[in-house]
Structures are given as structure tokens and as C-alpha cells.
Structure 1
Amino acid sequence: MSHKITALTVRDVRFPTSVEQHGSDAMHTDPDYSAAYVVIHTACGLKGFGFTFTLGKGTQIVVCAVEAVATLVVGKSLQEIVSDFRGFYRLLTSDGQMRWLGPEKGVIQLAVAAVLNAVWDLWARAEGKPLWKLLVDMDPRQLASCIDFRYITDALTEEEAVDMIVKAQEGKQQREDQMLKEGYPAYTTSCAWLGYPDQLLRQLCTDALKSGWTRFKVKVGGDLEDDVRRCRLIRQMIGPENTLMIDANQRWGVAEAISWVSRLAEFKPLWIEEPTSPDDILGHAAISKALAPLGIGVATGEQCHSRVMFKQFLQASALQFVQIDGCRVGSVNENLAVLLMAHKFQVPVCPHAGGVGLCELVQHLILFDYISVSGSLSNRMCEYVDHLHEHFTSPVVIRDAHYMPPKDPGFSCEMLESSVQRHQYPEGEVWKLNISK
């Protein structure tokens, strides 16, 4: 069967989530969850689906970047790509002219992630496996060969990576069986977006507790006294035994972050997420050191643009929780490098999700991490946001506040065509209605 890639299409798909303040935080007050949605077409008819996540405006820029990268993909076969996946990754990220727009960061890397997500989806479909299972079943050396170790060998070599995966073979089948039976622990962000009124917070917390949720994240950073009030409200509702996290979405400078979070320490948050600029490694290190006596860790990574940035965060002890994202870095290839580095530095991985489709993506990565790399659930959980899953052909399945492993072949990237058409910007029905208003 020929898996030669004959075409790559990309569309601008946007959901008007800003209308009800879904996803609102201190820095992103009116997000419209959106995606540059990619479909890879092959000669045999099999398709691969992928996307990168955006917040509305600017999605068209990512679409243009995907179209530029597509010229490096069309004409190749899936077999040719996966037989030298490291080389293919480097081909996309090291084009002599487009590299100048990155390198390996920003819009060009978001586009690369969308394309590579579709390639991984195609590969998993061709093998008849969900992506997590494709990764779990892969030979350690083949797995390592998918990673570009350029720039990170001072933290992790290819041989070290292979050794880690080989060592994790012990108990792997038991962990896989455990995940299939119990699922991976999740936490919810859906209860406490910054723009939600108190009445809605109370109702959502009440509903979540009844559904078995024990881990809750609250958005902070708008107003200190309001944060104190809202955190007190949430802590009273969930009780002292449940886990609370807070997320500032890059709102503060370093000193301000330390001062602000110290005021919130009475509510015993497990972590403060993105307290300052996502690029400020030394700033995060200073915040981590200052908050450690209070028992509060620092979590970041959803806007960390490359494995090189994660390497430095880990080397500087600047974070206590690594938050990978399915679209910010270069897809599975680069996230594999981050997962392995995090394991070497003994820092737990708690993926960023939410948005549109991000839960669908990261569930595969965190399942692989537990089964084939870390073997630990200590201080580990995966974010869950209850929005827009109905637009996917294989939506996430949550049972008792756990992600249940996907069973359908692929990377869970495929959207319903009816949803794509209805939400395509600006000609889709949803946007014609909104624009007319």
C-alpha cells in the first residue's frame, strides 16, 4: 500500500469561546479557541490529521506558515519519513530560509507542530494503533532515533535516552494494564476561569466534586484582593484534603510574583503556574527558591518554545513541575526529548491541556511517559478542560477524574468535518452569524 503524501491542506478553524469567557485568564481576557487544522492526503486514501492551537486572531498567520512548510512534505512517503524521522524533523526546522523566522520557536514552530502532529497521526493510523500504543510498543533505539538531540547533549545524550527507555521495560506491561483499567489522574481547570462570576464558580465546583474531582486549578493575577477572595471561596468548597493549584499566565514580574503568591500561601496551593515571562529562566529560578519554604512549587512550560528552553529550566532548577504542550514545541518528536530530560532531572511532568483538542493530544504523551519512561504517578496529573470535545471523532474519555486510554488508531486529532465547515473562519456559518451582529 502506498503512503505517498499527495497533498496537505490547512484550514483556519475558530470557536467563539470568548462569548462566555471560557479560557479567560489574567493575560488572555477574551480567547476564541482556534486551530490551524491540517489534513495530510496519501495516494492510498489514508489521511493524517493534525493541528496547532491558537486563540483566534493570528490563526491565519499560522495557516500561511503551514502552507510554506507543506512544500517540504508533499511528495514524500510515510515510510521515507519514519525511517529517518530525526532527519525529517530537522528538514522542517532547518530550512535555510524559513529557519530565520524561528529558529525552532514562534509561528514557524507552531506550523511545524501542526504538520508533524498530522504525520504522527498518519503513522499511528497506518499501524492500526492509538499513538500512545505506537510509542509504547516502539523499540528503544527507534524511539530515540525520532529525537533531534542537537543542542541538548550537555543534558541528555542519545545513549542515556536509550538506557532510560530500556530500564523502564521492567514493569511496563503491568503499568499499561493499570492505565487501561484505571486511567491517568487528571485535574480540572473548568471551574475557575478568571472571568467567571462567583455563582458559576460555586455551581461548577459543586458539580465537579460530585463527579469525583479532587484536583482543582484557579486562575489568578487580575486583582490581589479578588484572588484572595476567590481562592478562599474555592478552598472552602473543595476542603483541605483536595489539591489546589493557581495559575497567573505570565502576569507578574519576579518580585511581584513572590509577594503576590506569598499572600495566597494560606490556601496551600501545590504550585504557581507561569508566574512571570515564560522565557525568564533565571526569574523562575528566583521565584522557585523564594517560594520553596512555603511549600509552593513553580510550574511552567505551555509557552516554552523548545527542548533547549526546557533543558535550561531543568538545569537551573527553575521549575518543580514540567508542563508540556501538544502544539507549542515540535510535536511528539520534541516532546519525547522533554519527557526524557524531565525524567533524568527527576521533575514530574503535568501536561498543559484545555484549549481545543489539547486534551486529546497530551493524553497520549502522558500515558507513554508513565508506561515507558517515568513509571511514577507521584505528584503527577494531566490538565483537563471540559470544552469542545464534541467536535472530535475520538474525544477524550474521562472516568472518575481519570483519562481513559484512547483505543482508536491515530493521535485523536481528527475533527468532525461538519464542525470544521461550520467554524471555518471567516466563511463558516458561526462566523457569518457573529460578523452580521
Structure 2
Amino acid sequence: MADAAQRLNALAEDLLGSPLPVRLRAWDGSEAGPPGGPVLVVRHRRALRRLLWKPGELGLVRAWVAGEIDVEGDLYALLDGLAGLIWDRGDDDAERAVHPLLDPRLRAAGKALLKLAGPFPPPPPPAEEVRRRSGRLHTRGRDRRAISHHYDVGNDFYALVLGPSMVYSCAYWTGGGTLEDAQRDKLDLIARKLNLKPGDRLLDVGCGWGSMAIHAAREYGAEVVGVTLSREQAAFARKRIAEEGLADRIEIRVQDYRDVRDGPYDAISSIGMAEHVGSVQYREYADDLYGLLRPGGRLLNHQISRRPERDEDAYHVDAFIDAYVFPDGELAPMGRTLSTLEEAGFEVRDVEAIREHYALTLREWVANLEEHWARAVRLTSPARARIWRLYMAASAVSFERNRIGVNQFLAVRTPESGASGVPLRPRRWTEREDGTPQER
């Protein structure tokens, strides 16, 4: 077979209704498609078997993780081109794609693809895939296992990807500077929105490797409790805190946020954690944080969102993310998050959308991973490194194309008097003693 790429290209056009926007190279060395751009390399016919048994995103991802398909050239350009085929085809997502052997209109193309794919049965999923889960979502045990799958990959691996800041959430780019500068500016922005002062009690929910806790204690004199479900994160954070000489002001706990009972706190930060909470649990999350704040206390909720869909009662997950990256993770539209915070009693005083900032951040993380690829593979595995490269690059494209966003909600447990303590002029988050706004 010396024309596999040409045959694949023709079949793709029949199945998709439009030509592939990228060049193909098949396992037999043949090529087809537009020249001059990125090349989608199909290294083995097993990739086609995966697609036949699991049409859509998950089949493609399994082939990617197994190394059966690859990309030569600009990964972002290839993902952007394929995104147009997947995302711009209406409301049906990739996992609801019609199987070509079951649809009479596509059966001929499906049979031709079957012939190209080679002998069945399909290969098993790569080992890194999370097994299908049953039972109630977001129990404490299930959430603990999901968090461990993603965050207990190894602190050295995360240090390689994230850089010295060890911040695993959207940076805040104020013009120029490095990734570390942008992450510091994000932490400082959050501290200013929370109006942190010496002696304030801050609860950092989903504290990660301790970066927000350290910044709040060192730069603002706060007394911080950080909670995480990842034991590896907690150990790393405690070591950093001891090295900074801040152990008397920061406590790191391996604890579920639902089990925190030592309020009231003056402020709560939740940075990139609420995506793990899920729609079935979100009202309890908002209620718990409201109950942990003193009257007048502030919450900064930094959270990824998705675009609204027609059926907002359904449970929405991304097949790739759920199987390989964030098991049981779920994104909600921005409006639903705001409404739930208000239903819990919060007064939402500010929402800042920083979608483009996350695309820039992810591109920096991908660059770090690619620069240190050999070490990343040694620290984890070839499959795990490929998963992280694809998920971060694809997420960057999703932010750039406005498929997902990220927002900072500043919410207040406003006391009965109505005195919120928020400055009259928005976006100036601290006040002088006479009540007039000041920049920091």
C-alpha cells in the first residue's frame, strides 16, 4: 500500500464533508493535502482502528497518547485547523459523532476506512486512561482520587513545566516580563482585591504548591491556612514555607474544603480549584465558603468557564480531559457561577475576564515542556508527557478561540449594615485610613 495518505485524505473529506485543512503523512511514507503547513503523521494503522471503535475526540487522543499519530511543524496551527472541523460543526460534540459503519450515508466510506485500518479487534486504551467510574460524583473519596491522578504526577515534573513560580493557574500579563513576573502580578492582584492586611486570616482553598500562601504572608503579613487534597503538593509547599521562614504564619493541611471548620476568616482565595467542584456540588461549595467568612470578608474565586449550551441541565465533560487529565472536572458558564455565589448570600462586586491571559500562560508552559522534553519523559513517561503537551496546547487554542474563558469573581459577605468595604472606584482594591482609594 503506497497511497494510504491519498486514500485517507479522500475518506476524511467524504466523512467530514470538507477537505482536511492539514497535510497527512501515512505509515507507508505517502503524503496528501495542502503543502507548506503542519503535517499530521499517522504512524500506524492502529490509529484508524481506534477511530473506528471510538469516533471523535477520544479515539484521536488514544492514538496520540500511544504515539500512533504525531505532528510535524506548528502544533498550534494544526490544532486550530482541526478545531474548525470539530467545534464549528454545530452543537454536536466529537463524542456524539455518528459511527461511519452505522450511518447508511457514510457506510461506503466506513467500509473503506475499515479496510485501511487492518485486522480487528481494536487495541486497548493506553494505560494512563482513567477507568470508567460509577457511583455518585464528588464524594470526598472520589474527589481525592481524581486530584491525586492529576497533581501527584511528581513535583519535579511540575517544576519543569511551571517554572520557579510553581503557580498552576492563569498568569496576569501587564506588558513585557517573564512568566514568573506575570504569576507574581497575578498573586499580587488577588491579594489587593482581597484587601489583605497584616494579621488577616486567609484561607487558600486548593493551595497547590503554596505560592499564594507564601505571597500573602511574606508581602502582606497575612496568617494563612492552605488546604489541598494532594499529599505531594502539601509536602512541597511545607518545604518552601520552611525555607522562607514563614512556618509560624502559614499552615498547610491535606484536607477537603468541606471539612474546614475553624472560621471565621477575613478572606478566602480559590484559584483554579472550583473547576474540580462540579455542578452537583457547587452550591454546597459556595455555602461553605460563605459560612467560613466573617461579615465583610471577601472571596476571590478564580475559575475557568465554558460557553453556555442549549441543554444546561446535562452534565458536560470533555472526553479527553475526563479520561486523561482532570477526572470528573466540569466547567460551568460564567453566569451560572455568578448566580450560585449570589444564591449562597454573596454580593458579587467585580468580575474580571482574563481569557487571553491564559492562552499566553499555556503557551509558556508548553514551551517549558518542549524545551525539557527528554527530562519530562524521564520524570513521568512518554505517554504522560504527550498528554500534557496536547492538553495544554489544545487548551491554549480553546482560550484563543473563545471556547472557554477564565474569570476572577470578587464576592463579599456583606454585613446587614450594607457596608461592603469595597472602594467606590472599582479596580482600586485598597483604601487609605480616610476611606479614599489608593493604588498599591
Question: TM tier, shorter chain?
Answer: 0.3 to 0.5
> Which is higher, the Rg of structure 1 or of structure 2?
2
